Chain A
Amino acid sequence: MSSVGVGQGDRRAAKVARGIVLVLLTIAFLIPFYLLVRDALSTDQQINNVNGWTWFPSNPQWHNLIDAFNDPSAPLGRSMLNSLFIAVTQTVGVLVISGMAGYGLARIRVRYASAVFYVVLATLLIPAAVTFVPSFVMVSTLGWVSTLRGLIVPGLFQALATFLFRQYFLGFPKELEEAAQIDGAGPWRTFWRIVVPNSWSFVAAIATITFIGSWNAFLWPLVIGQDQNSWTVQITLSTYATAQSINLHGMFMAALISMVPLLLMFLFLQRWIVAGVEQTGINE
């Protein structure tokens, strides 16, 4: 009797301990977001208050929000539209291109399939910065500098996405495809009518990873987007810090605004994303 009582007490204690740890961790994980909001609504003097810590500015600078969109040398609205267009196009493109390639690599048996696959794997290991200058020279030879083409097209060929799609399609139940083939569907129709519609949550996961990567890309847009009209949001963010000084409140506000599309996407796609990430295939 006594032993059972102790066991239950232990379990309750463990539960309480877990709860406390989780709440503390939640606070720790949310603090950076809180600072982002606090500093976005402050003046530079309030951000670096010499007199001590402030929990929240007593007079929040709401006009920072409007100012962020009215700075001619940091065209936030325009660059967010650019980023949105680039990220959406790249995401759709990567899903189609890598999805097809992943399926081909997983399902079609030709002698050189594994050789092609190992080339894809090998490029994963090579840091992008290594090939940066030759890529830039090539894109500029094509005349694509400061164009959306130059910003979008080179990012359409993602070895990681192809790798993940292949791993996923290896685990796709073959019975479904075979049934379609018996009904006379060719590879093309099997893929688009049977395989894709049954893979939405995985597609959502890859879409998310690609969208985030595209939205947050910095180095490539910096060098390709020479003209102000082709700046992406990360480039605009970087203009708040010049060689001489830094506009802190402006940068925090722009950073906060720049995260809104991603956070919205997270809220709406959350369920799919998590389910999809869980199927990335690397669990098997």
Chain B
Amino acid sequence: MSRPTLPNPSRRQVFAGVGSVAAAAALAACGGNTGRSGGGSSGGGSGSIAQWYHQYGEPGTEQAVKKYAAAYKDAKVNVTWVPGDYDKKSAAALLTSSGPDVFEYGNGPTIDMITGKQVVDLTDLLGDAKSDFTPAMLARMTYQGKLYGIPQVVDLQLMVYRKSLLAKAGVKPPTTLDELIDAAGKLTSGKVKGLFLGNDGGAGVLGGPVLWSTGHDYLTKDNKPAFNNPEVAGALATLQKLFRSGNLLLGAPTDWSDPGAISQGLCAMQWTGLWTFPQLKQALGDDFGVLPFPAIGSSGKQSIPFGAYASCVSAKAKDVEAAKKFVKWLWVDQTDDQLDFAQSYGFHVPSRTSLIAKADKLKSGPAAEAAGFIAKYGHPQTPLLWTPTSSTAFTDAMDKIIRSGANPAKTLASVEATVKNEMKRFA
């Protein structure tokens, strides 16, 4: 059973016959263009590469990536723009030969894609440019000395606040968790809440920041669980209290990843991402400032998470070498396109550090300050060996502690068991 089970040939032929009748009717009815455009991967024409992106929210992005692809001389590149749950869709497609040749994936391929040999080694694509990429980012996508993704652009999460509201309430931008809690209270008045951490009270998004700001991490350098300790439990207990304090905005029409809550005046401070800055600037002008997640406890230090969609090459690609060549061309060599992609549509930091200096929009104001956070406070979102199973267990625990009032220490201990069990798969 090394290949998928198939119905026996005669049945399949009968069936394909039925199918072609339907397809013929379909062609007649719908103008014919129902296959993959230009005979993409299923057409199997040599010299054609199927490339997948998730659906970026900003207008113009889709046209831009199609423009880059069209400029590639050595092969025809068909871009597929994928709405909905991109991770599920691309993961399912990778199981088959009708999947993409080149695809992006958040923070590079998962560890199981690497050990399952679904993606290929891209180490040799960087060449001299290697030193130009943020090292922590490359390390995140490297397993046993081999690189499996080329970071496209870097995104980061951080706190934004309304300068005017803080000034009016006489509150200084908070740098410790205690100051943040205090500020949230002082800034809450009537319909305006002090702080917005997402509609789940930060359970989904603050895992990393809480760990780093207490001076800990998901895993130690040698991949042992590092999150189960009294400081983290204490910090989560504080967030648990904050959830019930009435100073936190809950049930907002949009979530933390959208600038809606703070720009509509529902809150004074919000956890969000760099990508919201164009809209924030439009709605609030200069009335907003940026902060990292505050430090927690005596040994803590402020922190922010950063991550990158990375370009990967499927092991099932029709022509792996051609696909790799295209990835090198676009995401290593074409610095103009990279700069355009980073700042013309959404709002990202180029992954090549030499380009950051050239990005006009990152030269001044809150955006420049935010871009500087990567070097000062930045941590890659999650470690490579932090598998989706570990991640689900940890996020579940955050949610149970913050929203349902579960005991932090006990809950973290049970996550530790799950993570240790998961680590055994890679021992």
Contact = CB atoms under 8 A, between A and B. Distances in A.
A56 interface: no
Given A145-B42, A245-B254, A223 B26 contact: no
Interface in A221-260: 222-223, 226-231, 235-236, 238-239, 242-246, 248
Contact of A148 (B34, B42, B82): B34
B417 interface: no
B45 interface: no
Interface stretch (B87-95, B206-214, B378-386, B393-401): B87-95
Interface string A121-136: 0000000000001101
A227 B40 contact: yes
B36 A146 contact: yes
A226 B51 CA distance: 12
A235 B89 CA distance: 12
Contacts of B218: none
B170 interface: no
A238 to B, nearest CB: 5
Interface string A142-170: 11111111001100000000000000000
A142 B57 contact: no
A148 B36 contact: no
A142 B4 contact: no
Nearest to A85: B29
Given A89-B22, A238-B83, A146 B35 contact: yes
B22 A226 contact: no
Contacts of B14: none
Given A50-B191, A235-B84, A141 B4 contact: yes
A134 B95 CA distance: 10
Given A50-B266, A227-B40, A246 B258 contact: yes
A222 B85 CA distance: 9
Interface in A53-92: 73, 81-82, 85, 89
A39 to B, nearest CB: 11
A244 B254 CA distance: 9
A48 interface: yes
A227 B12 contact: no
A235 B26 contact: no
Interface in B230-285: 253-254, 257-258, 260, 264-266, 273, 275-276
A142 B97 CA distance: 10
Interface in B92-118: 92-93, 95-98
Most chain B beta carbons < 10 A, residue from A73, A138, A226: A226
A239 B84 contact: yes
Contacts of B55: 73, 239, 242-243
Contacts of A231: 83
Contacts of A142: 12, 16, 19
A33 to B, nearest CB: 21
Interface string B15-59: 110111011011001100111110010100000000000111101
A149 B26 contact: yes
A137 interface: yes
Contact of B96 (A45, A136, A235, A236): A136
B427 interface: no
Contact of A230 (B4, B34, B258): B34
Nearest to A71: B59
A133 B40 CA distance: 22
Contacts of B62: 73
Interface residues of B, number: 54
A244 B258 contact: yes
A190 B191 CA distance: 72
B143 interface: no
B80 interface: yes
A91 B86 CA distance: 30
Nearest to B37: A227
B252 to A, nearest CB: 9
Contact of A146 (B25, B42, B95, B266): B42
Contacts of B191: 50
A140 interface: yes
Contacts of B266: 50
A175 to B, nearest CB: 35
A138 B264 contact: no
Given A48-B253, A245-B257, A140 B81 contact: no
B1 interface: no
Given A50-B265, A81-B30, A244-B258, A226 B57 contact: no
B89 A222 contact: yes
B36 A144 contact: no
Contacts of B37: 227, 229
Contacts of A44: 260
B96 A141 contact: yes
A133 B96 CA distance: 10
Interface of A: 44-45, 47-48, 50, 73, 81-82, 85, 89, 133-134, 136-138, 140-149, 152-153, 222-223, 226-231, 235-236, 238-239, 242-246, 248
27 contacts: A47-B253, A48-B260, A50-B265, A73-B59, A81-B30, A136-B92, A137-B4, A138-B4, A140-B93, A143-B98, A145-B96, A146-B35, A148-B26, A148-B30, A149-B20, A153-B18, A222-B84, A222-B89, A223-B88, A223-B92, A223-B93, A227-B36, A230-B34, A238-B83, A242-B83, A243-B57, A244-B273
Given A145-B93, A223-B93, A226-B93, 18 more contacts: A48-B260, A81-B30, A85-B30, A89-B22, A138-B4, A146-B36, A149-B23, A152-B26, A153-B15, A222-B85, A223-B92, A227-B34, A227-B80, A230-B34, A231-B83, A239-B84, A242-B57, A243-B55
List the 5 shortest-distance A-B pairs measured between CB atoms, nearest first.
A140-B96, A148-B26, A242-B57, A239-B83, A48-B253
